[in-house]
Structure 1
Amino acid sequence: MMKRALVTGGGSGIGFSVARRLCADGFLVTLAGRSGGRLKEACARLPGSGYVLLDVTDEAGVDATWQRLVAENGTPDILINNAGAAETAPFERTSTDLWHRMLDVNLTGAFLMTRAALPQMKKTGFGRIITVASTAGLTGYAYTAAYTAAKHGVVGMTRALALELAGTGVTANAVCPGFTDTDIVRDSVANIIEKTGRSKEDALSAMTKNNPEGRLVTPDEVADAVAWLAGVGASAINGQAIAVACGEVM
């Protein structure tokens, strides 16, 4: 029987690359996100996929959407918590609103989706919870206190959950990309250029200076790691935070 996967934030960037890879591997993939237009465009490029509109920070919406998916299509076997956002600010200018926005989408959203998924996964005896975190969940970056705190929280949540899931057939892992060639990074580069007057090349160099390969990670490289964790052969991998970062974090 074909396995089913749900990818949040699946309309672009890492999420779309993950969805494309899982489709190629024979999974039935549902994309989730807040932009109907972006999701429709993504599904048109992924024959056989579908989508649902979903805000991962909406607790009632998450629970209702998961129940509807189970009722209509059967239990998703794989949950990819990819929805996220990144905003930067010096610590002393980090507003409470910014702080909550980063925790809500990057941490609480992953918590809500995971909590909704677990009962059915445990009942069937198989499941993969894979959360796209960041190297910010393994180290620290200046001007990203809220984002970094959220990603550290994701890694901690994953490790705690993995211990609870041991022996159930369900695993929980995190993938931690370094700076990746996505819209979020391109927006960050544009922000650096605007605020500092640096060239695009200088802005990119600032992001990749600690990367031994001196380059951005590609979304497909992240998708490869996710696809491996989603497979039956990764049953012994549990509670891990795997850096996909060209050796930046060891």
Structure 2
Amino acid sequence: MTDLTGKTALVTGSVQGIGLAMAKAFAKAGARVALHGLADAKMAQDALNEALDAGAPDARFFHADMRDVSAIEQMMDDMADWGGADILVNNAGIQKTVPLAEADQETWDAILDVNLSGAFHTMRLAMPLMAERGFGRVINIASVHGLVASKYKAPYVASKFGLVGMSRVAALEYADAGSRASGGVTVNCICPGWTETAIIEPQIQERAAAHGGDREAGIAELLAEKQPSRRTSDPAEVGALALWLCAREAHNVTGTSIPIDGGWTAQ
């Protein structure tokens, strides 16, 4: 099992779903965990409790709007005061399905700011310290829509393709930081397909409405259209991959985009 004792992980968008699952995986491996989100006090405390119960020796919560550069910079300053992030996971993301002709500037700006620009700012501020230490892991949650397109998701797909490209640039720039012994500095994307999270719920409900409100029928239709396995992924399965990417043995796994999509992008 990957041992993250003495490491600190920052996971954006981690009050629920994939983000919280990854935070708990890191906590179980012994890492201190920095959680993040736009959450009320109860939701934030519940997430902290889950991380601590999973084994984190310490956990903190950061409220930062990923559309606000100054808020991100303050969060990263606070992280530096806490010792800095050895592991950075950019998971915070928003989506809106809308035809290209109906997408407005507000929608475009919000999705690009959260999904792409937010990750840019956390990376530029976290990675120099990783290089100094000779160990660092950046894991960007890019979605299958960082690899293939779908209708009615132009801003979202643009943000995720951009995230994949930016991750490759960062992987190249930091490829020679550290060593095999120290673990090096790597940058990778995880690209989930249909996963049991809140972000896909509007699409499920839309499909369910066409089946008289039958939610299971809506899910089945989504899976049949895209995901050959006909199975959704559990967020914990994404957490398991993220944990493996943090192992020292993964020092030469960098610049990749790894799908967890039941064969979606293999078609």
Shift of 1:93: 1.1
Q: Residue 55 of structure 2 corresponds to which residue in structure 1?
A: none
Shift of 1:120: 1.4
2:86 to 73, 77, 87: 77
Q: Residue 182 of structure 1 corresponds to which residue in structure 2?
A: 197
The code of the aligned residue for 1:58 comes to D
Alignment coverage as a number of residue pairs: 249
2:218 corresponds to 1:214:
no
Unaligned runs of 5+ in 2: 53-57, 178-183
Deviations 1:54-87 (A, max 9, x none): 122211111122112211x212100000000111
Q: Residue 45 of structure 2 corresponds to which residue in structure 1?
A: 40
The code of the aligned residue for 2:252 comes to A
Q: Residue 61 of structure 1 corresponds to which residue in structure 2?
A: 71
State the TM-score, normalizing by the size of structure 1.
Answer: 0.94
Q: Residue 245 of structure 1 corresponds to which residue in structure 2?
A: 261
Q: Which whole-Å CA distance do the structure 2 matches of 1:146 and 1:153 have between them? A: 10
Given that residues 208 and 216 in structure 2 are in contact (C-alpha distance below 8 angstroms), is that contact kept between their aligned partners in structure 1? no
Given that residues 11 and 31 in structure 1 are in contact (C-alpha distance below 8 angstroms), is that contact kept between their aligned partners in structure 2? yes
Q: Which whole-Å CA distance do the structure 2 matches of 1:57 and 1:233 have between them? A: 35
Where do 1:1-150 residues align within 5 Å?
A: 2-37=6-41, 38-47=43-52, 48-71=58-81, 73-150=82-159
1:199 to 214, 219, 225: 214
Q: Which whole-Å CA distance do the structure 2 matches of 1:133 and 1:203 have between them? A: 24
Given that residues 36 and 53 in structure 1 are in contact (C-alpha distance below 8 angstroms), is that contact kept between their aligned partners in structure 2? no
Q: Structure 1 stretch 105-114 or stretch 184-193: which is displaced more?
A: 184-193
Q: Which whole-Å CA distance do the structure 1 matches of 2:70 and 2:132 have between them? A: 22
Partner SS for 1:103 = helix
Q: Which whole-Å CA distance do the structure 2 matches of 1:90 and 1:198 have between them? A: 24
Sequence identity of aligned pairs in percent? 35
Q: Which whole-Å CA distance do the structure 1 matches of 2:39 and 2:213 have between them? A: 32
Q: Which whole-Å CA distance do the structure 1 matches of 2:212 and 2:36 have between them? A: 37
Q: Which whole-Å CA distance do the structure 2 matches of 1:88 and 1:206 have between them? A: 17
Partner SS for 1:67 = helix
Given that residues 211 and 218 in structure 2 are in contact (C-alpha distance below 8 angstroms), is that contact kept between their aligned partners in structure 1? no
State the TM-score, normalizing by the size of structure 2.
Answer: 0.88
Q: Which whole-Å CA distance do the structure 1 matches of 2:108 and 2:237 have between them? A: 29
